[in-house]
A and B are shown apart, each in its own frame.
Chain A
Amino acid sequence: MNLVDLSGNLLFTAFVAYLAGTILFGGAVKGSKNEASASNKRWGKLGITVTIIGFLAHLSYFITRWIASGHAPVSNMFEFTTAFGMLLVGAAILFYFLYKSPLVGLFALPIAIVILGYAAMFPRDIQPLIPALQSHWLTIHVITAALGEAILAISAVVGLIYLLKNIDLTKKSKERTWLEFIMFTLVLVLGFIVVTVGFRAAGYEAAFDYVDKNGAQAEVVYHMPALFGMNEYSAKTEGTMQPLAEMPAIINAKTLTTFTWSVITGIILYFLIRLISRRRIAELVKPLAVKANSQLMDEIGYRSVLIGFPVFTLGALIFAMIWAHEAWSRFWGWDPKEVWALITWLFYAAYLHLRLSRGWEGRKSAWLAVIGFAIIMFNLVAVNLVIAGLHSYA
């Protein structure tokens, strides 16, 4: 087995361990009543042990891949997202030891699993570095920024627990709707994974010629039946579906097609779940959250922003500026990715000030934490894939 295969197997091991960890933490939370019982302790310990094993496997994936390629594996969508998942688990472990709450693990692990699943949908081959990325600052900047984001994400995890516990799901309310919407977005990601894996297994491929926005001839290969065609497309593969509509040159019709298929699949999945369980997804998950101590969740949320904010500032703004100064001759250029890092930073600054001076604690704070995570994800997903700038991972 060569290093690259070993690395892949380690990643798979981590994935399985996180699944097992989720189940064990589930046992720990289920077993606990008002007092910490013996069985709860045992499940909790097992849960964290398995999680740490998974994390170590994940870290070994990272190191072996680094050795194999000669550069830190954070240079494309697959690598970055996988590293983010790893750091998220790392942050969850840190907070487990700070506060001994298995609930953090129970909710953070499934999110890490979904993130890993998402990452696996992108090309996994090891790519050589283009000139712009050939710098030690790539390693330093990206890892620190991702670590900051992972720590900040913990506030969204506990925020979600807080909301699940404290929002009355039996009464119609805006909060109930939004909470269900969060659950729905998670199902959407699953939809993306299902549809990608599905068409990949079927070996679907359809090539088109098109004219790009600079007026040049280009070729594109879809791996899903083309719902939308690129600008002035013409099909190159016989017997495949013809696009339903043609898009102008500024819209990447392939991305739009993938997005649409994912939404369709996500909606179908969502309704299947609701049809079978006859409940909202939030209601299905709520029993896991009701044991939470709201005050403790609020404290963990605030603490994770406090710990994550300086790390994020250092990685996503300061190191980024130093690198931009070295590579692009200016420390700040209003590139969309830079701007969204700034937006994230401003958002968490607002969170801290609202909390400190306007007393936005508990529920309001929890909502803000969830929105903060949404901004981070937007920067990772939409800004990379849709609003392409200098940072866009091709």
Chain B
Amino acid sequence: MSFIKCECGHQNPEGTDICQNCGRPLSKEEKSKRLADMRYDGAAIRSKTHKRSIVDKIWNFFSSVKIGVSIIIAILVASAIGTILPQVFYVPATSEAQAAQYYEDNYGLFGKIYNALGLSDLYGSWWFMTLVGMLGISLVVVSLDRGIPLYKSLKNQRVDRHPSFLKRQRLYGEGNVQDPDAVMQKAAEKLKEKRYKIREKNGALLAEKGRWARWGPYVNHLGLILFLFGVMLRALPGFYVDESMWIREGEISAVKGAPGLYLENKGFSFDMYTQENTNEVFSEAIDRVGSVASNYQTDVALYETPEGALPGSTNAELVKEYSIVVNKPLKHEGFHIFQMDFKLDELSAMTFALEQKESGESLGELTVNLADPQKEYDLGNGAKVELLDYYPDFSGFEDGEPQTATPVPNNPAFLFKMTTPETPEGETSFVAIRQTLEPLGENTYKLAFQSADTRDVSGLTVRKDKTIPVIALGGLIFMIGVVQGSYFNHRRFWIRKSDDGRIQVAGHTSKNWVALQRELDAVTEHAGLPAYTDQRDKEGHSDKSEGVSNT
């Protein structure tokens, strides 16, 4: 690495803007500026010094804030595009073809193009993930690129900077005073009172406070990196479980994704606000809106097979009983079980009577449990009904064969064989809701629908997310960093006396210049420092009270 030698004799690494020792401007660019560029205290950052190799080029790409902002804006724009139409996971479709159909049916040509371009699954697309990945890389690179030189530069600060360094600060004043030493001493007093750390050397003074605020951006970037890392972890097996399950009232079912856990649905309830059961302040709203849901609740019992039990063994022990409601999931061993959905009044059983068609005389009744139908129902006295086939969600005939759309008993249909003493050969009957067919010719007997039982079904979601601690830590660190960098600032004053009795004073802050000025005002008044100006304020110092009433 080559060095630049400053007039003061200090060897600075190539790319340094401001001499790290005395503070003279070094680079041509820096010399041409009226005010010092204090962003990294003029230290050389890696991306400004290494420009040759491929690694340097990649490094420089990701360390550029211009690129960083471009990535942020690209993610922003992409995110916005993803909200124009609902994303595919909010669309009622179970296959890609169905989804494509949905977009076309509902949103016409625009929807078709939107879906075809992959915008309907924008946030899961490779290019969106690449953008987020680039953001992560950029954060790592930029933090190393600038953080390290900034740290070194602030750690090795010299007290007696060159006069040109002071002159090139935004807040600057100079002038003759009666007794420079007394002024310096009084200034130091006042600054100490304001909790500045004071260092003095060769008639120069450096007062500094809040340096730690400078690390704020680095801390918050670290938090973001950790957060993104946590999100990435999800892709690993075992870190993330996300299942949904339907469970009927009265049923016990294995918890999906959680081996060894079983859940019993002891009852689902769904409540509404009514004029009677709520506070009267709500009555107007209930009148206006009509029905408003007040609660969805599944009462459950959770069972667990003891550790080491044989697979498939049924000696599960009760863990706890709990009422899952929205906003209050059941929590057990890192698993969360949420109330997400429900179906009211699903058919659970149907009762039929075996009747002689002509006389209407009944030979007895049978009840088919729709979740677990029997093969044969013996009605006694030589009458029996066999269930040849069962179609839980009958959707019509295809090539003469009855079809079922789903395994859910939404529209049950049955193929029965009825045998009675009168018809020992047996008669076949196809029974669906409001429909009876006799495929093999006219029957003597029929199965007459008597009644149906229903029960509710709870839709639950099972989640386990081991990445949460990492993500939460990332969020916490981000918050600490962003508060550290935004609510605190790094303030410095340099005061310097020269042999001819002149005093120079300069001030710098990472942000909040008004507060810095107020502090300098107080010190100036107390110590009799020369008046200063804000060299950036184009409208001038005198203009300060414009639009300001109480100063």
Contact = CB atoms under 8 A, between A and B. Distances in A.
Contact of B295 (A32, A36, A41, A131): A131
A32 B547 contact: yes
Interface string B61-98: 00001101100110110011011101101100000000
Given A131-B295, A295-B538, A296-B544, A44 B281 contact: no
B65 A358 contact: yes
Nearest to A332: B231
Given A310-B483, A350-B72, A357-B65, A134 B549 contact: no
B257 to A, nearest CB: 12
A127 B478 contact: no
B381 interface: no
A120 interface: no
B539 A294 contact: yes
B479 interface: yes
Interface in A274-332: 291-296, 299, 302-303, 306-307, 309-310, 313-314, 318, 321, 325-331
B127 interface: no
B549 A44 contact: yes
Interface stretch (B324-332, B393-401, B520-528): B324-332
B547 A291 contact: yes
A332 B76 CA distance: 16
Interface in B518-551: 534, 536-539, 542-551
Contacts, number: 194
A183 interface: no
B292 A358 contact: no
A326 B463 CA distance: 11
Given A41-B549, A357-B39, A295 B329 contact: no
A340 B84 CA distance: 11
Contacts of A389: 86, 90
A328 B327 CA distance: 8
Interface size of B as a range:
35 or more
A310 B487 contact: yes
A295 B546 contact: no
Interface in A81-103: 99-103
A249 B339 CA distance: 30
A213 B106 contact: yes
A66 to B, nearest CB: 12
A296 B327 contact: no
B486 interface: yes
Contact of B475 (A29, A102, A318, A349): A318
Nearest to A40: B549
A249 B547 CA distance: 53
Interface string A174-210: 0000000000000000000000000000000000000
B539 A293 contact: yes
B549 A342 contact: no
B276 interface: no
Contacts of B182: none
A6 interface: no
Nearest to B545: A36
Nearest to A297: B547
Contact of A34 (B242, B273, B289, B542): B542
A238 interface: no
A314 B551 contact: no
B512 interface: yes
A101 B273 contact: no
Contacts of A126: 281-282, 284-285
Nearest to A104: B547
Contacts of A349: 72
Given A125-B288, A132-B327, A103 B547 contact: yes
Interface centre among B242, B511, B534, by most chain A C-beta atoms within 10 angstroms, is B511
Nearest to A43: B549
A310 B68 contact: no
Contact of B76 (A44, A346, A353, A354): A346
Contacts of A310: 479, 482-483, 486-487
A167 interface: no
A103 B550 CA distance: 12
A365 to B, nearest CB: 13
A36 B549 contact: yes
Given A127-B289, A353-B69, 6 more contacts: A35-B545, A41-B549, A125-B284, A126-B282, A131-B295, A132-B327
13 contacts: A101-B548, A123-B288, A128-B273, A128-B279, A131-B295, A250-B107, A302-B511, A309-B486, A325-B468, A327-B326, A330-B242, A353-B65, A354-B69
Interface of B: 39, 65-66, 68-69, 72-73, 75-76, 79-80, 82-84, 86-87, 89-90, 106-108, 123, 242, 273, 278-279, 281-282, 284-286, 288-289, 292-296, 325-329, 336, 338, 340, 461, 463, 468, 471, 475, 478-479, 482-483, 486-487, 511-514, 534, 536-539, 542-551
Interface pairs A-B: 3 shortest CB-CB: A44-B549, A357-B65, A131-B326
Interface of A: 4, 28-29, 32, 34-36, 40-41, 43-45, 68-70, 99-103, 123, 125-128, 130-132, 134-135, 137, 213, 248-250, 291-296, 299, 302-303, 306-307, 309-310, 313-314, 318, 321, 325-331, 334, 336, 339-340, 342-343, 346-347, 349-350, 353-354, 356-358, 383, 387, 389, 394
